[in-house]
Chain A
Amino acid sequence: MDKINLDRADSNFKKELASQPGGETISACFTCRTCTASCPITAVNDKFNPLRIIRMALYGLKEEVLTSDFIWLCSGCYACQERCPQGVSITEFMTLLKNLAVKEGNMPTGIRAQRDTIKGEGRIYPIDDFDNKKRAKVALPPIPTSCNVVEKLFPPVRN
């Protein structure tokens, strides 16, 4: 793994994070690595390392973190957050980073597809007549095949 390069650090990033849900507690991190030791993703792929991501954020490496692929490897399992002796909301913090990355236009195709399907159809797996046939066959009630309320909840953004 490469060394952390501080040349392009943004000293405001820490404050920006601290003012948002999930970012309030990261300064309490005392680098004990309980998060990394507990992480099921790090165990199979060390590209993802929660401690390193927290350090990078605290050092102000905003662009490097928000354009990275690795923040998206967090499974959101809460193993780290439950065990953090400093009470850092690590999982919520990873969610914050992903949300900020999206605002900057960075997100994996699969995550974008999920978001668009849910906002358009109201479900991640839209139901069609064939699904309802299979359900009827085992006497399960039908599920609506369309959803109108999402248009009201998420009106198109006017530019």
Chain B
Amino acid sequence: MKYAFFLGCTIPARSRNYELSARKVADKLGIELIDVEDFICCGFPMKASDYKSAEVMGAYNLCLAQEKDLDICVLCSSCASQLTEVAHSLSEDGPDREQINDELSRAGLKYGGGVKVRHFARVLLEDIGIEKIKEHFVKDLSDLKTATHYGCHYLKPSEIYDGFDDVENPKSIETLVALTGARVIDYPGKKRCCGGPVLPVDENVALSVAKEKLDDIVDAGADAMCLVCPFCSVMYDDNQKSIESEFGADYNLPVLYLTQILGLAMGFDRKELGLNINVVKTKKLLSRYFD
């Protein structure tokens, strides 16, 4: 199993813990992630200001995967939605193929369609399968109480995602977390956005949105959050201290990536999973899983 590994912008710059743990988990499961040096931004952060240029960037990346005859595996939910959406508009009967190919011709490229884009979590469920994943677990995480956060673009817009999960009642992430034995805690605002895209516009609004979820999760009694998107992590992990000081709250809630939880159950050590890089300290919570 081989995929072009699309890291996007946030992960290599700000989320080495996600990248490290994902590479470890992939390795263990025999997933070959091929680095493509020339990949650029997926275009998502430019959609609001310049929709067409964002589409050109997405299409450029699809071309690079096409040249290698590989489908794309992504870790970031925004990259997943942007690249999937562009793949749809540039499909055989898609509306934008000709126009975008005109733009791409300046870089000597042409997109012919057919590259499939999927999030890492989806690849695990669809191409590896839960039985095979479970075979690699050596630690039982049943003492861990996690609250899963799906975020938005991992699931939405649903029309581009072939119905792989249910937007109003999603299960895919907790299915993977529950395999490790960890308990999945339900909480009221589970489907709420992290607020991240509003950060460059109005920081107070963005942090207020993130705060509501942290409140709900701590009230529900979870020990940690589980995420699948680096920008959600910017809001809940990187900005948790700012939210605490801005609103006079006290969470101290570790924010883990799905791949760190799976890697923990697979027996990788703290540094191999980048747990030492997480902003909110994970040492106390996870000490029982390490010698």
Among A96, A111, A119, A143, the residue within 8 A (CB) of B200 is A111
Asked whether A113 and B274 contact (CB < 8 A) given A79-B191, A131-B12, A144-B38, the answer is: no
- In the bound complex, residues from chain A placing their C-beta under 8 Å from that of B212 are 40, 43-44
> How far is B198's CA from A108's CA once the two chains are assembled, in angstroms?
11
| B-contact bits for A83-104, CB 8 A (1 contact / 0 none) | 0000000010001101100100
- In the bound complex, residues from chain B placing their C-beta under 8 Å from that of A125 are 9-10, 12-14
Contact call B201/A77, Cβ cutoff below 8 A: no
Question: Which of under 10, 10 to 19, 20 to 34, or 35 or more describes the interface residues of A?
Answer: 35 or more
11 sampled A-B residue pairs with Cβ under 8 A:
A44-B212, A45-B208, A75-B198, A99-B50, A118-B41, A118-B57, A122-B40, A123-B13, A135-B12, A149-B40, A153-B104
- In the bound complex, residues from chain B placing their C-beta under 8 Å from that of A4 are none
Asked whether A141 and B35 contact (CB < 8 A) given A118-B41, A153-B106, the answer is: yes
Task: Give the total number of A-B pairs whose CB atoms are below 8 A apart.
Answer: 154
> How far is B12's CA from A131's CA once the two chains are assembled, in angstroms?
8
Interface residues of B (CB under 8 A from A): 7, 9-10, 12-14, 16, 19-20, 23, 35, 37-38, 40-41, 43, 45-51, 53, 56-57, 60, 95, 103-104, 106-107, 152-153, 156-158, 167-168, 191-193, 195-202, 205-206, 208-209, 212, 271, 274
Contact call B205/A41, Cβ cutoff below 8 A: yes
Contact call B198/A73, Cβ cutoff below 8 A: yes
- Considering the complex, give the chain A residue whose CB is closest to the CB of B89: A21
Contact call A134/B191, Cβ cutoff below 8 A: no
- In the bound complex, residues from chain A placing their C-beta under 8 Å from that of B45 are 114, 118, 124
- In the bound complex, residues from chain B placing their C-beta under 8 Å from that of A110 are 199-201
Contact call A138/B205, Cβ cutoff below 8 A: no
- Considering the complex, give the chain B residue whose CB is closest to the CB of A45: B205
Nearest chain A CB to B74 CB, angstrom units: 15
> How far is B202's CA from A124's CA once the two chains are assembled, in angstroms?
18
Nearest chain B CB to A89 CB, angstrom units: 8
